């Protein structure tokens, strides 16, 4: 497995020519994602996924609070400590989520790289979901912006029954958004529409009941 940058070229520091280990350049800027344990094929997938996220950050698909945009830019372009993006493998036979995150670390598991019938992976929305958590977002924030930024055909998944239980425990609020449970309309705190969730929740997977929570993508 390779350890290195997510796509791009290795940045050089000053005139010394010393590589900045595990950084990448994108548009002349340093990207603050340090990848660990991914194959070269997986790294290329991560690079494509990151590029999609950056394009949407430059042309927002929905209203996004300014401080969230700033947090995402800081994560991607090295205005804050490096975020470790590590490969979690297949769980050694145990059920795994697609991804989980805590602090400044994201684990992506093998199942996140599985190809759909159309040959696409779900990595971009999964990675974006976890980046929202790294930016201090709650589960509602991550679910709302994942589904506002990505379509179902691109791999976004609507909230599950377990997600809705989490939303209820957190008073139907996130750090940046709130949801009205009767209508399932999500707005930011300036009352701008972000998304309307489907009327029926996706059934939670039986093997993770009670095991998931914020920062853990099972579906």
More confident residue, 37 or 27: 37
What is the mean pLDDT of the segment spanning 24-41?
Answer: 68
State how far the Cα of 7 lies from the Cα of 217, in Å rounded to an integer: 24
Query: Quick one: how many helices (H) and strands (E) in the chain?
Result: 5, 13
33 — pLDDT class (breaks 50, 70, 90)? confident
118 — pLDDT class (breaks 50, 70, 90)? low
Which are the contacts of 135, defined by CB distance < 8 A and separation ≥ 6? 68, 71, 72, 75
What tokens appear for 172 in the block? 């139907």
What tokens appear for 185 in the block? 């309309």
Contact call for residues 24 and 68 (beta carbons, < 8 A)? no
Chain centroid offset of residue 11 CA:
24
User: Per-residue pLDDT for 174 more than 60?
Assistant: yes
What is residue 207's predicted lDDT score, i.e. its pLDDT? Answer: 42
Looking up tokens 């930011």, which residue turns up? 188
CA separation (Å) from 193 to 45, 136, 148, 177?
31, 21, 10, 9
Number of folded domains that form the chain: 1
132 — pLDDT class (breaks 50, 70, 90)? very high
Backbone angles phi, psi at 30, to 5 degrees: -85, 135
Q: Rounded mean pLDDT of the chain? A: 80
Largest Cα separation within the chain, whole Å, is 60
What is residue 117's predicted lDDT score, i.e. its pLDDT? Answer: 59
DSSP state of 117: T
Ranges 15-19, 94-98, 202-206, most confident = 94-98
User: Per-residue pLDDT for 75 more than 80?
Assistant: yes
Q: Residue 18 sits in which domain range?
A: 2-217
Percent of the chain with pLDDT over 90: 59
More confident residue, 77 or 137: 137
What tokens appear for 209 in the block? 């009941």
What is residue 116's predicted lDDT score, i.e. its pLDDT? Answer: 63
169 — pLDDT class (breaks 50, 70, 90)? very high
What is residue 119's predicted lDDT score, i.e. its pLDDT? Answer: 63
What is the mean pLDDT of the segment spanning 10-34?
Answer: 40
């Amino acid at each position: 497995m390779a350890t290195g940058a997510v796509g791009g070229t290795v940045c050089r520091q000053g005139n010394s020519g010393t590589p900045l280990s595990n950084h990448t350049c994108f548009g002349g800027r340093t990207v603050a994602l340090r990848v660990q344990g991914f194959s070269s094929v997986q790294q290329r997938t991560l690079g494509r996924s990151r590029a999609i996220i950056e394009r949407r950050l430059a042309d927002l698909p929905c209203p996004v609070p300014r401080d969230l945009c700033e947090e995402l830019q800081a994560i991607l372009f090295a205005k804050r400590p490096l975020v470790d993006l590590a490969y979690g493998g297949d769980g050694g036979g145990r059920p795994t989520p697609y991804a989980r995150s805590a602090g400044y670390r994201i684990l992506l598991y093998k199942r996140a790289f599985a190809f759909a019938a159309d040959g696409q992976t779900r990595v971009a929305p999964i990675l974006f979901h976890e980046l929202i958590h790294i930016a201090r977002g709650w589960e509602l924030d991550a679910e709302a912006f994942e589904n506002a930024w990505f379509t179902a055909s691109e791999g976004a998944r609507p909230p599950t029954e377990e997600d809705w239980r989490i939303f209820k425990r957190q008073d139907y609020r996130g750090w940046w958004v709130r949801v009205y449970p009767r209508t399932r309309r999500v707005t930011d705190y300036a009352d701008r529409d972000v998304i309307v969730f489907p009327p029926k929740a996706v059934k939670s997977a039986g093997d993770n009941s009670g095991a998931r929570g914020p920062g853990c993508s099972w579906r």
